[in-house]
A and B are shown apart, each in its own frame.
Chain A
Amino acid sequence: MIWTALLVASAACYAIKLAGLSLPQRFLAGPRVQRIIPLLPVALLAALVATQTFATGRHLVLDVRAAALVVAGVAVLLRAPFLVVVIAGAATAALLRLVL
């Protein structure tokens, strides 16, 4: 089932791109569409950060991942490249697990 869902999601992602390139401008030019679409990735990415940091399954937890997120946040503020941010987060969690 996971492969079916992946194929459906892939088809949807491709169809969205194709629609953007081929639909007449007026379909996507409405003020509400223009407001909502840029906010969707902001909201979903923020929700993903929160749930992947402060939860295991359906339980809220506070563990080394919170510290890892803080370090990753500092890396972002220092304008570190994407890969450095990711490695900084992972390395923080790994080091804290080793020490604690």
Chain B
Amino acid sequence: MFTGASQFAFIGVVGAGGSAWAGAATAALLGTRNALYGLRLSSLLDLRSWRLPVSAHFVIDETTAMTIARDKPADSRIAYWATAIALFSLWNLGTLIGALATQALPDPKALGLDAAPPAAFLALLAPRLRAREPLAVAVAAALIALVALPFVPTGVPLLIVAAAVLLYGIRPR
């Protein structure tokens, strides 16, 4: 799995005591936006033969942003692969360092590490809130999740929120 928000979400649900499958479903739902990114990228990248399955792994927020910002297809491809290689190597190196370093920590709460994931989710969320509709959806989603939380297994509030978005999106207008 190489898509940051999904990785954070999986570990967030499992870390809070939720089922691994609720974490998996949330991670996959968060990854659906990458399909739209793929749609934008398919006309810009060279996807013949083996390049298609390899390129697919690196379709994320950052590579898409860097690629569609170029004017010429040749520049787009360079931007895609430069961003992909830099992010993939540094992201996974950082993950490895984090995994090894936390083994040495006696009490993660004393370092405030339980407050780090919400801050990270907020930082991922903020750039998507620049219009009225997403802002309203975000507030409603937070409220729905908190109202549902005491009554359903951990992790399930996220799936309820996803279902609510589907209902909201398919309604006739």
Contact = CB atoms under 8 A, between A and B. Distances in A.
Interface of A: 1-2, 4-6, 8-10, 12-14, 16-23, 25, 28-29, 32, 34-55, 57-60, 64-65, 68-69, 72-73, 75-76, 82, 85-95, 97-98
A86 B110 CA distance: 15
A32 B169 contact: yes
Contacts of A39: 133-134, 137, 165, 168-169
User: What size tier do the contact residues of chain B reach?
Assistant: 35 or more
A18 B154 CA distance: 30
B15 to A, nearest CB: 9
Contact of B114 (A18, A23, A38, A65): A65
Interface of B: 1-3, 5-6, 8-10, 12, 14, 16-17, 19-21, 23-39, 41-42, 45, 47, 52-53, 55-57, 59, 109-126, 128-129, 133-134, 137-146, 149-150, 153-154, 157-158, 161-162, 164-166, 168-170
Contacts, number: 283
Given A50-B145, A65-B118, A42 B128 contact: yes
A47 B158 contact: yes
Contacts of B150: 58-60
A53 to B, nearest CB: 4
A9 to B, nearest CB: 4
Given A13-B2, A42-B125, A53-B115, 6 more contacts: A19-B35, A41-B33, A44-B158, A82-B120, A85-B120, A90-B115
